[in-house]
Amino acid sequence: MYNTVLSHAVAMEGQLVKAAPFSYHAPETLDESLALLAEFGDEAKVLAGGQSLVPVLALRLSRFEHLIDLNRIPALRYVTGTDGVTRVGAMTTQAAIGGSEEVRRRVPLLADATAYIGHFQIRNRGTIGGSLSHADPGAEYPAVAVALDADIVLASVRGTRTVGATEFFTGSFTTAAGPDEVLTEVRFAHRPPDGCAVVELARRHGDFAIAGVACAVELDSAERVQSLRLGLFGVAPVPVRAAGAEQVARGTPAGELDPVAVGHAALAGVSCVSDVHADAGYRERVAAHLAGQAVARAVREAREARHG
């Protein structure tokens, strides 16, 4: 990879540059950025935290005529909670999310997932909007969004629309956002669960996951599973909601829930991907095991919360 970088590097007046040239735009309002996108369409790329996009550009895996940097739009950085809805602005950094009391209290699954993203130096720049838009199959936030039925707000000069997380992710690194649209906000309507957990297997700490699971559980007054939410990542081109396993668990007394069985049910019907890190069969076994672990951990947390 290092040689690739060098062969693409161009020495210009004593300065080394790597990415192909682009026109740089740093709008200070959302409207300005939308106007730029309307003008340039798919010749333009939105730059959020840049923790994935900048290396893609530097390695010339991709090139764009125009880069529209959203980092000068403070209005896109916020966490607000009203009634049942927590709204997170697209340019809110992973570090800000990880440090937010509001997120910890209202969307603890999002807080738990944050610790797995890269390292603190990456989280200082990386954003939730960037994570979701980049749609890396091994990323944590997309699976959290899918597990919690988050709504994703897309804006363009044509107006604003809201897309459910499950519909938003259409393929590996591919989303439902149009070339003139910007992801502006993520809405979590889910009320805080009684227990939640994120577990993953990665080759090194901070890497994208080979397989991972985000899990949230609610218990009813008789301590039966009222709802179980399972989002799998790393296993398929898009984050997977394990609806079958969720259904099986519903109504089961928490003390009788068999996490191993739920874990296996979570992978039923999922066709896992193979790559250089792991083949499909291995991914399936690991993911089933992790799903069981996540369920066990979330249920334990929920019961402990009950019993103090």
Partner 1 sequence: MAEHQLEVTVNGRAVTAMVEPRLTLADFLRERLRLTGTHLGCEHGVCGACTVLADGAAIRSCLVFAIQMRGSAVTTVEGLTPEGGGLSDVQEAFRAEHGLQCGFCTPGFVVSVTAWLADHPDPTAEAIREGLSGNLCRCTGYQGIVRAVAAAAAARARREAGHD
- Site residues (CB under 8 A) for partner 1? 1-2, 5, 12, 14-24, 26, 50-51, 54-55, 57-59, 67, 69, 71, 95, 118-122, 124-125, 205-206
* Token duo for residue 272: 């896992």
- Closest to partner 1 by CB, 205 vs 307, is 205
Closest to partner 1 by CB, 48 or 299:
48
| Least distance CB 181 / partner 1 (angstroms) | 23
The least CB distance from residue 76 to partner 1, in Å, is 15
> Toward partner 1, which CB reaches closer, 55 or 178?
55
Q: How far apart are the first and last CA of the chain?
A: 52
Please name which of 82, 22, 34 lies closest in space to residue 58, comparing C-alpha atoms.
Answer: 22
The token duo for 236 is: 């398929």
- Shortest distance, position 304 Cβ to partner 1, whole Å: 22
User: Cα 79–211–86 angle (5° rounding)?
Assistant: 15
What is residue 161's DSSP assignment? Answer: E
Distances (CA, A) of 149 to 33, 145, 163, 290: 27, 6, 10, 21
Please report how close the Cβ of residue 235 comes to partner 1 at its closest, in angstroms. 23
- Residue 171 is encoded by which pair of tokens? 């393929």
CB atoms within 10 A of CB 125: 17
How many residues does this entry show for the chain?
308
- The residue among 69, 188, 183 whose CA lies nearest residue 133 is 183
Shortest CB 285 distance to partner 1, Å: 26
Q: Which is nearer to partner 1, 121 or 174 (CB)?
A: 121
What is the residue-wise DSSP string for 34-53? HHHHHHHGGGEEEESS-TTH
Q: Which is nearer to partner 1, 86 or 94 (CB)?
A: 94
Taking the complex as a whole, the smallest distance from the CB of residue 110 to partner 1 amounts, in Å, to: 19
Nearer to partner 1, 94 or 156 (CB): 94
